[in-house]
Amino acid sequence: MLNTKSIFMCLVLLGLISCISKKSELIELNFEKDLMPEGIAVDGSTKKLYLNSLKNNKIVSSSLDGSNPTIFLKTNKHNYLAGFGMTIKGDTLYALGNSLTGDKNKSILLLLQLSSGDLIDSYSINDSNFHYLNDLAISSNNEIFITDSESNKIYKIQRPNKTIEIYLDSEEVSNSNGITISDNDEYLYLASNNGICIIETISKKIINEPKESYSGIDGIKYHKNNLYGIVNGWSDKSQNGLFKFELNKIGTEILESKKIVEFTESFKIPTTFDIFDGNIYFVINTQIDNFDENTNEILDLKKLESYTMMKTKAE
């Protein structure tokens, strides 16, 4: 027979298992298997999910539970290119795209009305310089900040202006990928080759000492005075995962990091994510390692699988 102590320990163990199971949920997405999604965005008002496609130059949507899949933006409509960073502000979906054509790369930003799918505006970069617009963040004043992962540049658009200007050009922010902005618009956070850079938006100064140990980050988000990031850039897979980066009270320094989701073998290059209602949403198996950007072909059709999204609490 179990004694009182053993019964208590069993109850504690069951409680822990219950807490762990409630922390994360896996949601099957019913999109085509060759989507190769990179960007993701959640519309909190309608509880809809939006994913773009690296291979098919389009955007799809569904309910947050994976039901009701549909095409939001058809292939190449409004000159959309292979999908990269996306974000939602109000009734607008901001979607970046690149042509994936090496030294002749083209980039585009579409602003699409969520309620109708209509085009609000578009911005293009098409010059002799190589650029690769990767991710974006929107301030409360409708300033759009965009990273270029193949240069030292950060771009800025002040809506409703049509000009794309260079906001920052510095080796200190080289090859930046993810970008996010504080709720008060005072600080930008860049996932650069040098680690996470914190930029004072007005002065454009880097105010922290980036750590290389905080590099390898793809998507990054600011949420309740903390940063969250998907780390997928380390050859040592044990260093990858979904991380929380705790900030000091004024958001100017990273105090410590904590891995909140371990990437196991079923995680096939998660990239970006979104946060809604205290939950983080991301595709755990983008499978972009099975995609050749140069030829726009799937490397092994037999390896394609249905996409799975993880919903996990932002601790």
Residues forming a β-bridge with 201: none
pLDDT at 130: 74
List, in order, residues 6 or more apart from 274 with CB less than 8 Å away: 40, 41, 42, 87, 88, 221, 280, 281, 282
How many angstroms separate the CA atoms of 123 and 105, rounded? 15
CATH class of 25-313: mainly beta
On whether the CB atoms of residues 74 and 88 are closer than 8 A, the answer is: no
* Nearest residue to 41 (alpha-carbon basis) of 87, 4, 5: 87
Q: Is 63 left (phi over 0), alpha (psi -120 to 50) or beta?
A: beta
For the sheet with 82-89, list strands across it: 82-89, 92-98, 107-113, 119-125
Residues of the chain with pLDDT under 50: 1-2, 4-21
| Per-residue model confidence (pLDDT) at position 315 | 82
| Distances in whole angstroms, Cα of residue 37 to Cα of each of 52, 95, 267 | 5, 13, 14
Contact predicate 149/190, CB 8 Å: no
Output helix, strand, coil percentages for the chain, rounded to the nearest 5.
15, 45, 40
Alpha carbon of residue 80 to chain centroid: 18
- In this prediction the pTM is 0.91
Question: How many CB atoms neighbour CB 131 within 10 A?
Answer: 19
**Residue 250 DSSP class:** T
- DSSP code of 69? -
If you count them, how many residues does the chain have? 315
**Strands 297-298 and 274-276, sheet pairing:** unpaired
Q: Would you kindly state where each structural domain of the chain is located, as residue ranges? A: 25-313
Contact present, 133 and 145 (Cβ < 8 Å): no
Q: Strand pairing partners for 123?
A: 109
- Main-chain dihedrals φ then ψ at residue 126, nearest 5 degrees: -145, 80
Indicate the Cα dihedral angle 139, 48, 225, 84, nearest 10°.
-60
As given in the structure block, the two tokens for residue 265 are 């073998």
Bridge partner list, 243: 229, 259
Give the CA dihedral 159, 160, 166, 167, nearest 10 degrees.
Answer: -30
